[in-house]
Structure 1
Amino acid sequence: MSTEKFLPVEFCKGNNGLDKVVLRESRGSSAEVYLYGGHVTSWKNDHGEELLFVSSKATFKPPKAIRGGIPICFPQFASLGSLESHGFARNRFWSIDTDPPAFPTNSSSKAYIDLILRPSEEDLKIWPHSFEFRLRVALTPGGDLMLISRVRNTSTDGKPFSFTFAYHTYFSVSDISEVRVEGLETLDYLDNLQNKERFTEQGDAITFESEVSSGYHFSVCLHYLTLLFI
């Protein structure tokens, strides 16, 4: 009988000595979160199958963002504003949140970690808004991965600010011919592979035979669909 103690949360070193947190559920699912970028780089089901994609070209060397997994895009998604593409949260070192608020997660799960990001003086020069970004990454007892974000305006002047945000998830797909994306019919989109020419989606499901990079316009935000063959 093994005497090794089961640890739902383990703090350790990852690639290039970067701090990371490993989350485990008793049935076998797991997730890995790097403090650099608040970045989830692995999510495995209870059979040990990897569900996320991380490129073999990922360097894990700051200030370059980790390529793959689940980058946190904040305070800008894509290249819609004056900041660098996808903002700066994915290029910053997050801290362990020692005083997190109550999060609506499954109380029976102990496999979670709370992170927090506050702006540095250099961040405030390029985006002059004071904030606290809190992120909880959790595994449910069933092995589902949950990310919950809360952004708080901490400015002393009380002025509101706007931002855009995304979990830019890279899923690992074993057979692209079996993938379908539904629910985008009649929406306008910009095709990034055709100089961002505007089209209207006609089909009831999108399937993939080659590289795709399109931005679909919704009533409240812009969602990007990007398929990379690497």
Structure 2
Amino acid sequence: MVGKGNKPSMLASTPGLAPQPQVTFSDDNGRVTAVLPTGESVEVLLYGATVISWKDKNGDEKLWLSKAAKLDGSKAVRGGIPLVFPVFGTAPDHEQTSKLPQHGFARTSRWEFLGKSTSESTPASSTAADLSVKLDFGLSSAGLDSDAKSKWPYAFNLIYSVTLGRESLTTSLVVSNDDDKPFDVQVLLHTYLRVKDISSVSITGLGSATYIDKVGGVSPPQTQSASELTISGEVDRVYTPKDGASPTEVVPVTVVEGGKTKFTVVRDNLSNVVVWNPWVDKANGLGDFEPKDGYKNMLCIEPGSVSGWQTLEAGDAFEGAQTISFSY
């Protein structure tokens, strides 16, 4: 018998080969966890392909997850990074998606784990190798339940990739139209970031952006005049940020807490950013939002393409992504 103090390390591998990222499954095969040799980790629920945990090397959680979140596949997860597809909210006046529930079916469907891949680079500031691991998940029309198929009868394929780095997390979604007719879609990465105190948080990167304010009903488009946005009440805005000096330059959205940059969110081919915090009354009205004062410790920064529709012709594909970086 191997004594407790003499057990080989979980990261031990072929002699001469540097430790590699480890990918494991839960006992019920409902969750996938990836851990870098340096300790960073990500956990993904196959129900909805929902990222439910992202921790740095010290074990500090970067995402907010409700204590009442259902992780048994009975309903969409409150917290983490739920996937919104093919409709944002509800769209009763849009014929193709009018019958779908709020935020569509991607977050309430069971996805298939397609595999992992790793990459290695050498950061400019270090001679140490910087490992990352990418987890791929798939959902197609063939994998939908009968109810979702009846409400959205199109042939499609989704590939969702979650890439864990030393100080970043990238999530990307590829939508393919496998049908013989076009369809319209909206996509959103509904990211719940964890903060210590929402009253000390400011958001930059949205100055001069137009936005729709959804608190109390949908407003006409407005323009944010302030360079920083602070949260002191319920916020539910759909921003269309201005791009940088060139068409390929995207201005990042930065979350600053206590005067220090905490998160930087960079969009790729996603024209909108939803900013959401339920505050007191809305949080109290959400049955799966716990603790009720949890709004003090979370902020949703949600890159997406939701102000209009992406029309995919037969055989076309759409890809959008976000990269979230954090600072210690």
Structures share fold, TM-score greater than 0.5: yes
Q: CA deviation at 1:166?
A: 1.0
> In structure 1, what is the equivalent of residue 172 of structure 2?
148
- Alpha-carbon distance in 2 for matches of 1:165, 1:194: 23
Which residue identity is paired with 2:189?
Answer: Y
- Quick check: 2:63–2:194 contact (8 Å CA) kept in 1? yes
Q: Distance in 2 between matches of 1:218 and 1:84?
A: 28
Deviation at 1:18? 6.6
Match 1:186 to one of 181, 187, 208? 208
Is the CA contact (8 Å cut-off) linking 1:23 and 1:138 kept in structure 2?
A: no
1:150 is matched by which residue type in structure 2?
Answer: V
- Could you tell me which of 216, 226, 232 is aligned with 1:203? 226
Give 5+ residue unaligned stretches, structure 1: none
SS at match of 1:146: strand
SS at match of 2:175: strand
Q: Which amino acid in 1 is paired with 2:213?
A: D
Q: Is the 8 A contact 2:119 2:133 kept in 1?
A: no
Paired with 2:201 and 2:215, the residues of 1 have a C-alpha distance of 20
Residue 147 of structure 2 aligns to a residue in which SS? Answer: helix
Deviant stretches of 4+, over 6 Å: none
For 2:231 and 2:216, the matched residues in 1 are separated by 16
Letter in 1 for 2:136: D
2:56 counterpart (45, 57, 68): 45
- In 1, the alpha carbon distance for the partners of 2:29 and 2:275 equals 30
Q: Deviations over 1:22-41 (max 9, x none)?
A: 11001110010010000100
Matched, 1:10 2:60: no
Report the alpha carbon displacement of residue 68 of structure 1 after superposing the two structures with TM. 0.3
Is the CA contact 1:53–1:68 (under 8 Å) kept in the aligned structure 2? yes
Q: Which structure's CA Rg is the greater one?
A: 2
Q: SS in structure 2 opposite 1:194?
A: coil
Which structure is higher in strand share?
Answer: 2
Q: Is the 8 A contact 1:9 1:112 kept in 2?
A: no
Deviations 1:129-157 (A, max 9, x none): 111101121212x24212222122222x2
**Correspondent of 2:42 among 18, 24, 31:** 31
Residue segments in structure 2 that go unaligned for 5+ positions in a row = 1-5, 12-20, 122-130, 243-269, 280-293, 295-328
In 1, Cα distance between the equivalents of 2:213 and 2:132? 43
Matches within 5 A, 1:20-99: 20-80=31-91, 81=94, 82=98, 83-97=100-114
Change (3 A) 1:5 1:217: closer
RMSD: 2.5
Aligned residues: 220
Cα 1:48/1:84, change in 2 over 3 Å:
same
Residue 176 of structure 1 is matched in structure 2 by 198
Q: Is the 8 A contact 2:208 2:241 kept in 1?
A: no
Give, as a single letter, the amino acid of the residue that structure 2 aligns with 1:4: S
How far residue 107 of structure 1 moved from its aligned partner, in angstroms, is 4.9
- What letter corresponds to residue 106 of structure 1 in structure 2? S
| Letter matched to residue 190 of structure 1 | I
With structure 1 as the length reference, what TM-score do the two structures score?
0.84
Separation in 2 of the partners of 1:115 and 1:127? Answer: 21
**Amino acid aligned to 2:71:** F
Match of 1:164 among 186, 189, 210: 186
2:135 corresponds to which residue?
113
Pairing 1:217-228 to 2, within 5 Å after superposition: 217=240, 221-228=271-278
Distance 1:135 1:54 in 2: 20
CA distance in 2, matches of 1:18, 1:61: 12
